[in-house]
Amino acid sequence: MRLQLIQVAYLASSVLFIFSLYWMNHPRTARRGVFAGVAGMTLAILGTLLQPGISHWGLIGGAVALGFLVGIPLSWVPLTAVPQRTALSHAFGGLAAGLVGIAKYYLLLGEDPGHLTRFLMTAIVTEVILGFLTFTGSLMAAGKLQELRWIPQRPVTYPGQNAVNLALLGIAVLAGIGLILRPEELSYLFPVVIVLSLVFGVLLIIPIGGADMPTVISLLNSYAGLAAVAMGFVLDNKLLVIAGALDGSSGLILSIIMCKAMNRSFGNVLFGAFGQVQAKAAAGEAKIAKSETAEGAAQILEEASLVVIVPGYGMAVAQAQHRVRELYDQLTKRGVDVRFAIHPVAGRMPGHMNVLLAEADIPYEKLVEMDDMNPDMPQVDVVLVIGANDVVNPAARHDKASPIFGMPIIDADKARTCFAIKRSMNPGFAGIENELYFAEHTYMLFGDAKAVVGEIVKQLAGTGGH
């Protein structure tokens, strides 16, 4: 009876999780999704605690309390730090899966080795490999995003890197297969698999640059979900399988969207070591970019009827989103239509820019996707590029030699006038010179994004009301 009750609770919990994700299809219903998720999780935990043979309440209570102690402050991070928080929580997810895998293996090895069937061992090995590589990989990603001093920001590469990585993974998989076939005799291989997975996670992330972080985070999200699925297979728990599959497919879809938005494949992101500064300089004549003052920009913005702002990671770094909101206010007050064109890979994780702009109280109807904005670009009076670079580089459309050739971009160069705020003429993360800056109707606004936008706002406010 009690067992059936638990299964019913798990079933209800699965349904709630599906609804939780379903309600994310619109900002209006999205908060309902969170409540459904919380309800589902509560049901699942209560159901599990009903299981016969659960004791050690002190240990469980302590771990739960500690989880709250760490989890609550982690939810207060500034929104610019959300990518590293997300990476950190993928690490926690991987760790939990890996630890449960270890515990289950040694438990059965000691008490009941007959039950270490090939199927169960396959699930355990998968769980441990995925769990631990997600753990260290996500920690590395979080460290890179947090810009910790002892983690190199630029991709670290060396000759034969991919061969080393693949060999390492190959050995881990071979050891895993050994374990699957002979779980008792070859039990010494288990720690080998753990260590190799941990090391592989680190090595996998080292060569990846900041611009690829959105894809990598999505991929790690998927791995964390699949580790939970493997745990479900190990523990014979359908709820784990369902919730893990939902998470896994979510990460997969986000990774695919990110890859498409960069016109690259998974393999290329993981093993391509993008983001090294291109050695060969642009051949030929030195090109000159024109610059403009905040005052001049303010005048042109004021007279525009349609202004499109293209935000990028630079806006997040400079914490300029609130100044951007003031600019938005000043311009809408004058009857200017202001929209934001968001590239899928702008920022350091999927949807990063949307959250930052929402934080600054920009209504979400004004946040327009790249594909919806581009057809209207020729009608746009002014494009203001704030801290974005590669996503507006026209070279992606026509220069076959460019590393970003083929990547879909926001056609900022097709607008009548383009302003680009930039600290200096240094190339962006991909290390590619941006043709947009040398275009005829492009004017550079040099300086920190926050300061420059603030200056424009001041100019507009000064002339306010005409």
Partner 1 sequence: MTRRVVLCAFAGMGWALAAQAGETAPAVPSSGSTFIDLLFVFVLATFIGLGVITRVSRLLHTPLMSLTNAISAIAIVGSLVIAGQDHSTVINVLGAVAIFASMTNIVSGFLITDRMLKMFKQQKEGDSK
Residues 426-445 that bind partner 1 (CB under 8 A): none
* Residues touching partner 1, count (CB under 8 A): 125
Map the footprint of partner 1 across residues 31-70, applying CB under 8 A.
31, 33-34, 37-38, 40-41, 44-45, 48-49, 51, 53-56, 59-60, 62-64, 66-68, 70
Q: Which of residues 206-225 bind partner 1 (CB under 8 A)?
A: 217-218, 221, 224-225
| Contacts (CB under 8 A) with partner 1, residues 78-117 | 79, 82, 85-86, 89-90, 92-93, 95-97, 99-100, 102-104, 106-107, 110, 114-115, 117
Applying CB under 8 A, among 162, 187, 237, 263 the residue interacting with partner 1 is: 237
Q: Any idea of the CA torsion for 121, 124, 126, 127, to the nearest 10 degrees? A: 170
DSSP-derived pairing of the beta strands 306-311 and 382-386: parallel
**Considering the rule CB under 8 A, would residue 465 count as an interface residue with partner 1?**
no
- Comparing CB distances to partner 1, the nearer of 86 and 434 is 86
Sign, CA dihedral 63-65-70-72, equals positive
Q: Which stretch binds partner 1 (CB under 8 A): 245-253, 294-302, 393-401, 416-424?
A: 245-253
Cβ–Cβ contacts within 10 Å for residue 297, how many?
Answer: 23
* Shortest Å distance, C-beta 250 to partner 1: 5
Give yes or no: 390 in active site.
yes
Residue 88 vs residues 71, 127, 140, 242, 350: alpha-carbon distances, Å = 11, 19, 9, 23, 16
| Residue (160 or 465) nearer to partner 1, CB | 465
Quickly count: other Cβ atoms within 10 Å of residue 128's Cβ.
28
CB of 306 to partner 1, least distance (A): 15
Sites for partner 1 among residues 159-188 (CB under 8 A): 180
**Residue 56 CB, nearest approach to partner 1 (Å):** 5
Query: Residue 378 and residue 360: Cα distance in Å, rounded?
Result: 28
141 is an interface residue for partner 1 by CB under 8 A: no
140 binds partner 1 (CB under 8 A): no
For residue 290, how many other CB atoms are within 10 A of its CB? 12
* E strand or H helix that includes residue 220: helix 213-235
* List 176, 183, 210, 251, residue binding partner 1 (CB under 8 A): 251
CB of 289 to partner 1, least distance (A): 32
The reply on whether position 146 binds partner 1 by CB under 8 A is no
Instruction: Identify the sign of the CA torsion 427, 430, 431, 435.
Output: negative
Answer positive or negative: Cα dihedral of 391, 393, 399, 401: negative
**Closest C-alpha to 308, from 157, 410, 188:** 410
Residues 6+ apart with CB under 8 A from 210: 144, 145, 153, 275, 313, 348, 429
With tokens 């005409």, the residue in question is: 466
Minimum CB distance to partner 1 smaller for 250 or for 276: 250
361-380 positions binding partner 1, by CB under 8 A: 361, 363-367, 369
Query: From the CB of 225, what's the least distance to partner 1, in Å?
Result: 5
Distance between CA atoms of 213 and 276, rounded to whole angstroms?
15
Number of other CB atoms surrounding residue 147 within 10 Å: 11
Those residues whose C-beta lies under 8 Å from the C-beta of residue 101, and which sit 6 or more positions away, are 124, 127, 128, 131, 230, 231, 234
Q: How far is the CB of 127 from partner 1 (least distance, A)?
A: 10
CB of 44 to partner 1, least distance (A): 6
Site for partner 1 in 273-312 (CB under 8 A): none
Q: 247, 329, 372, 390: which is the annotated catalytic residue?
A: 390
From candidates 11, 18, 173, 306, binder to partner 1 by CB under 8 A? 18
Which residues from 341-360 bind partner 1, rule CB under 8 A?
A: 342, 344, 349-352, 354-355, 358-359
Catalytic residues: 390
